[in-house]
Amino acid sequence: MTEMPRSLDGWLEYIERVHPQTIAMGLDRVRKVKDVLGLAPACPVVTVGGTNGKGSACMMLEAIWHHAGYKTGCYTSPHLLRYNERVRIACEPAGDASLVYAFERVEAARVKADVALTYFEFGTLAAMILFIEARADVLILEVGLGGRLDAVNVFEPDCAMVMSVALDHMDYLGDTREAIGREKAGIFRAGKPAICGDADPPQSLVDYAAMIGAQLLLRGRDFDAKPAATQWAYRGPGGARHGMPWPSLRGAYQLGNAAACIAALDTLRDQCPVTMNDIRGGLLTAENPGRFQVLPGQPLVILDVAHNPHAAQALAGGLKSLPRGGKTLAVFAMLADKDIEGVVGILRAQVNQWFVAGIAGAGSRSTTAQQLLRRLVAAGVNGAVCCDSVADACLKAREAAGVDDKILIFGSFHTVSEAMQAMREKKA
């Protein structure tokens, strides 16, 4: 019998090996283990999907309900620095010992069910064990990939949200917005609120919601945000709200995310009511590291995990909102299966100098700096600097930057994570 790991790091290495594939779509395996564990949350569940925006929505919902005094359970992915970030109870990351305990329980049930689980499936079940045992008042579950066949979809949502639909993960979800929209709509449930934060939803999503009888609320039709100079106004199923503060999360697009969150709160007001003060407080305190995160100081440093054209468009808009003047130097690394040329093409006009690095340890998705350099040239960028690592690229960019310049670090969770780790080590 194989000896089980004792530390969290040991467990994370173990669960990476349990299933031969990193991604394996389907719910049968995770449902069997869920049933062995008897996992059935007794509190309201909100499932949040979408190509982009789902992480921000989770953070806003968590902050608002936390401000209202509810004990929240929030499950997100991926993490930036520590796995513990994925599982938060009352806005605090789960401790190593708690995660080890939960992994042990999942493993025992997995062996009994005689199935393999992917890394994400393992983590989803472990998170739910901790949420249920903590007696959370409301759960927020972020979809990992797609929706219909994602592990979080084995749990029944009281409200499901699709924040946006764009082209990404096309090998798994389809190569059109209509195909991807249908996959993401798979988290909707008959008779339950279904929020769509995309201002131009695929017809497949709308049709699926109608077919199953979900209570579909569409941005622009059933709820919306109207910006003003210093505040904004919301309208939705719970009525109109004026004098709303701009979210602490940067980017004009966050208003649409905030409106979708308030629409979800409106639909759950009988189960988890909140006040206007709670909404304001949550919007002002929500944090989502690595999403247009602007670090103070000179030169200005911007961290963004943007890794598809839809996110790159939002990032480009965010850059335009920053103080003018100086150059923009980009530290860039992206996975091989992403639309690198599409992302670079969107941001090319706003970047004066590129410092590129590879991403290792991602299997067939890994890239080298030279591979990225060739794809930048294909996208019309010349003169990029090849670097040994993201940390090396950050160092070279900082050496080249003046006090009035901006350093943009983006392209992947891997990129931002490595940059944050390098900054932490330098500070230490």
CA 290 to chain centre: 10
Count of Cβ atoms closer than 10 Å to residue 320 Cβ: 10
Say yes or no: 59 and 207 in one domain: yes
Alpha carbons 133 and 114: distance in angstroms, whole number: 25
Say yes or no: 263 and 329 in one domain: no
Question: Among residues 285, 305, 331, which one ends one of the domains?
Answer: 285
Residue at 2 is within a domain? no
pLDDT band at 394 (very low <50, low <70, confident <90, very high): very high
pLDDT, position 1: 47
**CATH number of the domain where residue 358 is located:** 3.90.190.20
For residue 406, which of 315, 297, 304, 316 has the smallest C-alpha distance? 297
Say yes or no: 154 and 281 in one domain: yes
pTM summary value: 0.94
Total number of domains constituting the chain: 2
Mean confidence (pLDDT) of the chain? 94
Say yes or no: 153 and 239 in one domain: yes
Alpha carbons 181 and 147: distance in angstroms, whole number: 9
Domain range for 158: 8-285
Say yes or no: 297 and 343 in one domain: yes
pLDDT, position 2: 64
Say yes or no: 308 and 278 in one domain: no
Say yes or no: 206 and 341 in one domain: no
Alpha helices, DSSP H, located in 213-358: 254-267, 276-285, 309-321, 340-347
Residue at 14 is within a domain? yes
Alpha carbons 68 and 418: distance in angstroms, whole number: 35
Question: Among residues 285, 317, 333, which one ends one of the domains?
Answer: 285
Rg (CA), the chain: 21
Alpha carbons 109 and 122: distance in angstroms, whole number: 11
Say yes or no: 133 and 252 in one domain: yes
pLDDT band at 22 (very low <50, low <70, confident <90, very high): low
DSSP state of 355: E
Residue at 319 is within a domain? yes
Say yes or no: 158 and 277 in one domain: yes
Query: Which two tokens mark 351?
Result: 């970047």
Say yes or no: 275 and 306 in one domain: no
Kindly report, residue by residue over 133-144, the tens digit of the pLDDT.
999 999 999 999
